[in-house]
Structure 1
Amino acid sequence: MDIDSGETKSLSNLKNVSTYNTAQKMRAAMSHQYGRVFKHGMQPFTENPIKPGTYNGNPSMSDDISQYMISLRRRKVRGGETVVSAKAMEEKTLEALYKYNLQYLREANAPSYSEAKKGKRGDGNGEGIDSEGKSTWAGCNVRMMLWFFYTISFLCLLRCDEALRIRWEDISVEEWLDDGEKSIRLKVTLPFRKTHQTGGVLPFYLYPDRQRPHLCPVTAFCVWYNIVSTRFGSCTGYVFRKRTGKNGVSADSGESLSHASLMESFKNNLMDISVNPDPYGTHSFRRGGAQWLAMVKRWPYRNICSWAGWSDNLDNPATLFKYLLSVVDAPIVKREEYMDPHRLGGDKCGVCGRSCPCA
C-alpha cells in the first residue's frame, strides 16, 4: 500500500514497490523507536501472564512481525526480486583499478582537466574519454585518494562510514625492521566502530607488500600523503576529503568525502576497467577482504573475526559466513574442478613456494 495515497500498489510494476531491504530498515527503525525512545527494550513482545490483555516487550520483536518478514521475503523472491548482498571485491579487480589509475599518477603535478581535454564523447557534464583514451571524470588526486580508500577498506575489513571518518591523526608511521633493513609500517587506530561505540578499538598494523603493489597500504598512504601535504602544506583533519571539481579535494580539512560521492566515484572507476558496477557497493571491500584473508592468506576464521572486530566469543558464526558465501560472488573453483586430479594450482606462496590447491 502506498502510504501517501492509501492505494494498493500494482505488483506488475516492481519499480514502484519497495524492496525487502526497505522493509528491513523500516523494522529496524521501529525496533529502535520502541526500544530506545519508548523504553520497551529489545525483549520479545509477549502477553503479561499476570495481567491478561496487556503486553510487555518490543512490538517489533513479536512473533507476528517475525513471521510476516519471513513471508514477505518469500513473496519478494517469487515476485522477481533477488535479495542479495553486495558483490565481494576481488583482488584481480583491485589490481585492474590500480593499474588503470596509476597512469594518472605519472602526469606532472596532477593538473585539473581543462576544457580542452574534455572528452570527444560525453554525458553533458564534460565526462567522457579524452584524446589519449583516458576517462575524464576524475584526475590523479581523486584517483590516488580512492586507491588508499580501496586498500585500507579491503585489508582492514572496514565499513564505509568507519573508513570515511579516519583522520590523519589516527594514522601513525612507525619504524620496522624488514629482514634487518629499516622500513616503515602504519598503525591505524579508528576513532569509531559500529561494534565499539564506547572505545576499546584495537589498532591495525599494516606492512609494505612488495609482491602485491596494488595492495600495498604503505605505498598508497605515502602517495596520498604527499599529494595532500604538497597542496595544503600539512595533513590534518579527514584523510578522505570532499571532492571539488574533476581533480580537486576540499581545502577545508573538516569536510569529509560523502558516501554518495564515494559511490559515484567507485562506480565510475569500475566502468573505467569495463566492470559492471551494479552488483558492487561500499560493503564489497569488507566482504572481499574477508574472502581474501580466508582463501588467499589462509587465515584461521578466529583470526579473521579478531582482526575485523567481530564477536570475540564467536557466538554467531553466521556473521562471518555471510561475508564468505554469496550467490553474487564469482566462484573461485569451477564445479568440475573440485575433484579433478590435474587441477592447476594458484599463485606461488612467497614463503613456502607452494602453489597446489592443498597448500
Structure 2
Amino acid sequence: MNSCNLTNIDGSPKPSSEEHGTYSHAQKMRAAMTYMFGRLQGLSNMPWHESDAGGGIMVGNPSISVEVSSFMCSLCRRKVKAGKVANSARATTTDGLLKLYHHNHLPQNWTIRAYQPGEHGSLDCWGGGCARRLLQAAYTLAFICMLHFDEVLKIQAHDLQVMGDQVILHLPFRKTHQSGEIKPFHLWVLPPHEAHICPVRALSAWLRESDIKSGYIFRKISSGDRIAEADAPMSSEQFLELFHNNLLDIGIGPVPYGTHSFQRGGCQYLHIKRCWPLRKICDWSAEFFNLTIVKYLISSNDDPVEPCQHFFNPDRPPAVKCPHCGRCCPCG
C-alpha cells in the first residue's frame, strides 16, 4: 500500500510529480489481501493476534490487525487533508434537470441530423438528437426510480410493458437485491410542468426515434450520432462522459457529479419536493434497507435547500415553499 501513501517508508515526503495511489485503491488492496489470507491460505477472518500458547506465535488474518486498521485510518485522514478523498456524488436537482431538458430540446440539439465531432469548432457539438434523447430517457428513469446507472443501462426492451397510460418497468436484477422478487415500477405520464422529469415522455421519444424493439435500449452512441448496431449496453464510462458534457452545456461544473447523482437526487426530490414519508420511499424502491436511505438524503456535498442562518429567523425572506411544512400552501 506504500504507493497510496503520501510519504516514503523512511518518513520523507514523496515528490508531487510521483503518481500516488488513491485511498479507494488502498481499500481494494486490503480487501484482496483479506481474501487471499482468509480464503486461499485458510486463515479465516480472525484478527491477527498472538496465540494463547505464547512463544510469540501469531495467528489469524494479517490484514485484519490493529496495525493495518490504524494505517488505513491514518491514510484516510492524510488523504482528506490533502483533498485526495472524493466525496459522495452530488445529487442532481429538478432545477438542473429542467435546464438540461430545455437545452437538449433546442432545435439545433434535438433535430436528428448527421453529426460530426467538432463540427463548426464548437464544444457544444459533442452529441446530436439521438444522444440527447437517450440521455433524457436515462436521466429521468434513474431519477424517478432511484436506480444505479449500471441498472439503467442494462434495461432491455422486454423489461418494459405498456398498459394503457402507464409503463411498467420490470428490472431483472438490483445491485443490492440479490434474492426474492423485485417489485416492478409503475410509471405514469407526469403533468406538463414536470415534463423534464417524466420518464414516460422521455422513453417514448427515445424508442420512437431509435426504433429499438428488442435487446438493450440504451446502446453505445457511435460517431455521426449513430446508434451502435451491436446489441450491447452503453458503458458507464461513455454515459458519464456524455453526462458531464451535458452539464458543461448549461454552465455546471461536472466534477462533483457521478453515476449515483440521479439516485441521490431522486430520493431527495420524493422526500423534500413531494413530501413522501421514508416508508413510502422505501416501498417505491426496495433498494433501501436499514438506514442506508440517510446517505441519499443528507450529504455535505449537496446544495443546501435553505441557508442555515434562516432556519429560526422569523423575518426570513419570502420563499416558494412554506417554511413550516415544506409545501406550497397557505398553512402559515
Q: How high is the TM-score relative to the length of structure 1?
A: 0.78
SS at match of 1:202: coil
Partner of 2:23: 20
Residue of 55, 73, 87 corresponding to 2:76: 73
Q: Distance in 1 between matches of 2:149 and 2:39?
A: 25
Mapped pair 1:283 → 2:260: yes
Please show how residues 216-235 of structure 1 align to structure 2 within 5 Å: 216-229=198-211, 234-235=212-213
Pair 1:346 & 2:320 matched: yes
Q: Provide the rounded CA distance (Å) in 1 between the counterparts of 2:209 and 2:125.
A: 19
**For 2:167, which of 183, 186, 194 is the aligned residue?**
186
Question: Is the 2:116–2:223 Cα contact (8 Å) retained in structure 1?
Answer: no
Contact 1:147 1:220 in 2 (8 A): yes
Note the aligned Cα RMSD (angstroms): 3.1
Which deviates more from structure 2 when the two are superposed, residues 140-149 or residues 43-52? 43-52
8 Å contact kept, 1:346–1:356? no
* Corresponding residue number in structure 2 for 1:55: 59
* 2:250 aligned with 1:273: yes
Q: CA deviation at 1:16?
A: 1.7
Identity, in percent, stands at 35
Task: Indicate which of 42, 45, 48 corresponds to 2:47.
Answer: 45
Following superposition, the deviation at residue 104 of structure 1 comes to 4.2
2:87 corresponding residue in structure 1: 84
Normalised to the residue count of structure 2, the TM-score between the two structures is 0.84
292-301 vs 73-82, which moves further = 73-82
Q: Which runs of 5+ in 2 are unaligned?
A: none
Q: Which amino acid aligns with 1:163?
A: V
Partner of 1:251: 229
Are the aligned partners of 1:186 and 1:206 in contact in 2 as well (CA < 8 Å)?
yes
- Cα offsets for 1:82-126 (capped at 9, x unmatched): 441111111111110011111248865x122269x922x3xxxxx
Number of the residue aligned with 1:111:
113
Where 1:21 maps in the other structure, the secondary structure is: helix
Post-superposition shift, 1:264?
Answer: 1.0
Within the candidate set 127, 146, 151, 1:162 is matched to 151
Unaligned runs of 5+ in 1: 122-127, 130-134, 176-183
Instruction: Answer yes or no: is the 8 Å Cα contact 1:346–1:357 preserved in 2.
Output: no
Task: Give the Å deviation of 1:34.
Answer: 4.9
Measured at CA, do residues 354 and 327 of structure 1 come closer, stay the same or move farther in structure 2, by a change above 3 Å? closer
Q: Say if 1:37 and 1:87 are closer, same or farther in 2 by CA, change over 3 A.
A: farther
Question: How far off is 1:173 after superposition?
Answer: 1.0
Amino acid at match of 1:327: S
Report the Cα offset of residue 347 of structure 1.
Answer: 5.3
* Distance in structure 2 (CA, Å) of the matches to 1:34 and 1:346: 58
- In the alignment, the residues of structure 1 paired with residue 87 and residue 18 of structure 2 have an alpha-carbon distance, to the nearest angstrom, of 17
Residue 140 (structure 1) aligns with: 129
Query: Which of 328, 331, 341 pairs up with 2:301?
Result: 328
Call closer, same or farther: CA 1:203–1:38 in 2, change over 3 Å.
farther
How many residues in Structure 1 have an aligned counterpart in Structure 2?
A: 320
Q: Which residue of 2 aligns with 1:172?
A: 161
Other structure's SS at 2:105 match: helix
Output the amino acid matched with 2:285: A
